[in-house]
């Protein structure tokens, strides 16, 4: 298996060059989009439809009038939307369908649509994501870091490095080795998340509780999978 890591959002348009059609992609937007999606699924949300733009989300709402609109721009809830991007908002939405658009995470998910399998990962479900990759046994694994704005996100690269570290006997790309080195520099997830740009921004805006939730490795056993444009709970063998 080839183990690769996409560290920067500028690389997303070029995923086809990395053999995405033969790959299992694990998408990370630790603070906070993928953590929020996984929290929602773990608490009974039926599916989440990622949209790249606000306009796309509003258009999807016309097709699914009973769906809730969730997401953020610059970390804040979008005007007129039902939900923001805090995972804590999604713990009492059992049975709901959610249309979500975020600055980076939903764009990264949609960029991976050509992959063999697209999984949703975070620190919260890191161990479950590792087991899902083992079960799928792909010829190529790509950990996709959503980033923050137009830049790299330390917390995403940390999670990608932790994932890659479990497959270090495989054929690692230089990017995978770089991510592993960063993860080893910050051994514990809380350390990485709290010093990251996103982590510091959330703390400064009174959202430490979001960071505290997202840094809990292994808190969730749920793995999301994107099929036919929607994220649902992945089940081995399904």
Would 222 be classed as within a structural domain? yes
Number of domains in the chain: 1
Would 122 be classed as within a structural domain? yes
Would 234 be classed as within a structural domain? no
Would 238 be classed as within a structural domain? no
CATH number, position 64: 3.90.1560.10
- pLDDT at position 238: 61
> What domain range includes position 137?
2-227
The series of mean pLDDT values per 10 residues for the chain, 238 residues long, is 97 92 97 98 98 98 97 95 98 97 98 97 98 97 97 98 95 98 94 96 96 97 97 84
What SS3 state is found at 208? helix
Contact at 8 Å (CB) between 175 and 160?
no
- pLDDT at position 57: 98
Would 76 be classed as within a structural domain? yes
CA 13 to chain centre: 17
Would 232 be classed as within a structural domain? no
The residues near 190 (Cβ < 8 Å, ≥ 6 apart) are 215
Question: For the chain, where are the E strands, in sequence order?
Answer: 2-6, 23-28, 47-50, 68-73, 76-77, 97-101, 117-121, 140-145, 171-172, 224-227, 230-233
Would 77 be classed as within a structural domain? yes
Predicted model pTM = 0.97
In angstroms, what CA-CA distances link 169 with 17, 43, 165, 177, 186?
24, 35, 9, 12, 21
- pLDDT at position 152: 98
Would 236 be classed as within a structural domain? no
């Amino acid at each position: 298996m080839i183990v690769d890591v996409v560290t920067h959002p500028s690389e997303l348009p070029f995923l086809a060059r990395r053999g995405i059609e033969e790959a299992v992609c694990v998408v990370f937007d630790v603070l906070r989009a993928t953590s929020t999606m996984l929290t929602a699924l773990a608490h009974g949300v039926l599916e989440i439809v990622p949209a790249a733009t606000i306009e796309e989300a509003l258009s999807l709402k016309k097709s699914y009038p009973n769906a809730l609109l969730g997401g953020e721009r610059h970390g804040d809830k979008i005007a007129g939307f039902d939900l923001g991007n805090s995972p804590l908002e999604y713990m009492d939405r059992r049975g709901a369908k959610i249309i979500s658009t975020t600055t980076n995470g939903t764009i990264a998910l949609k960029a991976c649509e050509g992959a063999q399998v697209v999984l949703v990962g975070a620190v919260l479900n890191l161990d479950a994501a590792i087991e899902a990759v083992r079960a799928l046994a792909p010829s190529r694994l790509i950990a996709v870091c959503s980033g923050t704005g137009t830049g790299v996100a330390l917390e995403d690269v940390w999670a990608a490095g932790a994932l890659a570290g479990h497959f270090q006997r495989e054929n690692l790309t230089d990017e995978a080795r770089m991510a592993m080195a960063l993860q080893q520099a910050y051994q514990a997830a809380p350390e990485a998340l709290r010093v990251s740009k996103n982590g510091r921004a959330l703390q400064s805006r009174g959202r430490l509780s979001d960071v505290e939730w997202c840094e809990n490795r292994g808190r969730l056993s749920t793995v999301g999978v994107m099929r036919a444009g929607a994220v649902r709970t992945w089940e081995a063998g399904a």
